[in-house]
């Protein structure tokens, strides 16, 4: 996982570089929560370009970060979602509240 912060735009970008299973979701959750509290960004962008697998733990991880962002008044979106991952997101209903943006 690679996390960058653009101070000028107050954008926290999270590039996930591994599969998201229960074990990795916990690691991602802890690191991202720390960074959100550190920077209190205006916008959070989660990049799924390198994610080829995600289970239900990934859904929970995304929803939790979305709720944290909302509590801080930040926007939250995802990008670069592969069709297989997009299908999981659609079935879970997440896409009704979290937008997918194109770069």
**H helices within 40-99, ranges in order?**
56-72, 83-92
DSSP 8-class letter at 75: E
CA 31 to chain centroid: 12
Number of domains comprising the chain = 1
- pLDDT of residue 8 exceeding 70, the answer is yes
Query: CA-to-CA distance for 36 and 85, rounded, in angstroms?
Result: 24
- pLDDT of residue 103 exceeding 80, the answer is no
Domain that holds residue 76: 2-101
Give 38-78 pLDDT, tens digit per residue: 999 999 999 999 999 999 999 999 999 999 999 999 999 99
Q: What is the CATH number of the domain that holds 53?
A: 3.30.750.24
């Amino acid at each position: 996982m690679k996390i960058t912060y653009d101070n000028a735009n107050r954008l926290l970008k999270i590039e996930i570089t591994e599969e998201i299973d229960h074990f990795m979701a916990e690691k991602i959750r802890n690191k991202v929560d720390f960074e959100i509290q550190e920077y209190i960004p205006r916008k959070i962008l989660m990049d799924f370009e390198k994610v080829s697998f995600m289970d239900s733990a990934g859904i929970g991880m995304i929803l939790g970060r979305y709720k944290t962002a909302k509590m801080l008044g930040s926007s939250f979106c995802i990008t670069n979602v592969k069709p297989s991952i997009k299908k999981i997101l659609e079935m879970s209903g997440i896409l009704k509240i979290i937008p997918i943006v194109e770069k």
